[in-house]
Amino acid sequence: MALLEVRNVGKSFGTLRALDGIDIAVQAGTFHGLIGPNGSGKSTLLKAIAGAHFPNSGSITFDGRDITTATPYERARAGLSLKFQITAVLPELSAYDNVLLALQSDQSLWSLLSSRTRRRLNGEVMTALERFRLADRADDLAGELSHGQQQWLEIAMALAPRPKLLLLDEPTGGMSPEERRVTGELLQPIRSHCALVIVEHDLDFIKDICDHLTVLDQGKVLDDGTVAEIERSTRVQEVYTSRV
Ligand SMILES: Nc1ncnc2c1ncn2[C@@H]1O[C@H](COP(=O)(O)OP(=O)(O)OP(=O)(O)O)[C@@H](O)[C@H]1O
């Protein structure tokens, strides 16, 4: 069974059909990209998976559990984590404290008082920062980090509770080409323990890191397959050459 299964999902805003009968399956350990022209429904689909809004029809199953109308908190407890387009680090706190906060949200007050828990959390915070090349910036305020580093900090925070699936909405927006390249490099190792669903306009970036692509067009799945299959798809080429 797939880790995430979206079945026949529909979402309307008034008379606008933003999603219309969407089916996708994301396997554990894979990086799954959502691409398509502007307004094709990518962010709406990501938000439906994240619980930022509920679909009008269809179902979403995660790790064997129906989460179609689960709250974002319940989804997080089930192992779903997300980083949306707008940077949400706390600029007045250090990079270290931002990750610590993300980790602490799951701990009881009682366990936080124990020095063993605090030692363990300290180790986990530093591992998360090292993984995203931020260990030497641990004490710096998050607001003083570069744009790219703030994005990496936020991904580190989203991964801190060890989710099974990470949702990323345009993580490379506003990054330099070098920061994009490094972002791809930093994401690769998470594959061993976490799947990824990513919306991204940079097609070269998404083709480099993803195993599987779903192409949306006007709220429907236009095509779905491996990166090589999508590159050969004449339907996709037509949409991209005529409208992008
Ligand atoms: N909250 C909302 N209220 C009304 N319409 C919305 C809302 N959110 C999205 N839409 C509309 O739904 C359609 C799909 O939007 P969505 O943002 O999902 O597309 P997208 O593929 O992510 O686009 P882009 O690549 O430009 O970010 C668009 O026509 C958009 O205007």
In this prediction the ipTM stands at 0.96
- Give the per-residue pLDDT at 110: 58
Which ligand 1 atom lies nearest to the CA of residue 14?
A: 4
- Separation of CA 42 and ligand 1 centre (Å): 8
Pairing of strands 31-35, 195-199: parallel
- Separation of CA 38 and ligand 1 centre (Å): 8
Tokens 């959390």: give the residue: 121
164/174 Cα distance (integer angstroms): 27
- Give the per-residue pLDDT at 104: 76
Q: Closest by alpha carbon to 223, among 45, 48, 39, 36? A: 36
Stated as kind and residue range, the H or E segment containing 213 is strand 212-217
Domain boundaries along the sequence of the chain: 4-92+163-243
- Separation of CA 41 and ligand 1 centre (Å): 6
Q: Structure tokens of 71?
A: 């709250």
Indicate the residue type of 217. Answer: D
- Give the per-residue pLDDT at 103: 83
Q: Closest by alpha carbon to 152, among 131, 127, 138? A: 131
- Separation of CA 16 and ligand 1 centre (Å): 10
- The domain made up of 4-92+163-243 has a fold known as Rossmann fold (3.40.50)
Q: What is the 3-state secondary structure (H, E, C) of the chain?
A: CCCEEEEEEEEEECCEEEEEEEEEEECCCCEEEEECCCCCCHHHHHHHHHCCCCCCEEEEEECCEECCCCCHHHHHHHCEEEECCCCCCCCCCEHHHHHHHHHHCCCCHHHHCCHHHHHHHHHHHHHHHHHCCCHHHCCCEHHHCCHHHHHHHHHHHHHCCCCCEEEEECCCCCCCHHHHHHHHHHHHHHHHCCEEEEECCCHHHHHHHCCEEEEEECCEEEEEEEHHHHHHCHHHHHHHHHHC
Tokens 């506003």: give the residue: 174
The pLDDT profile of the chain, 244 residues, written as one tens digit per residue, is 899 999 999 999 999 999 999 999 999 999 999 999 999 999 999 999 999 999 999 999 999 999 999 998 899 889 998 877 666 788 999 999 999 988 876 655 555 556 677 778 888 999 999 999 999 999 999 999 999 999 999 999 999 888 999 999 998 988 999 999 999 999 999 999 999 999 998 889 999 999 999 999 999 999 999 999 999 999 888 887 765 4
142 DSSP 8-state letter: G
23/224 Cα distance (integer angstroms): 10
Pocket test for ligand 1, best of 40, 45, 170 (most atoms within 8 A of CB): 40
Pocket test for ligand 1, best of 43, 86, 197 (most atoms within 8 A of CB): 43
Indicate the residue type of 110. Answer: W
Degrees to nearest 5, angle at CA 10 with 5 and 12 = 145
The model's pTM: 0.89
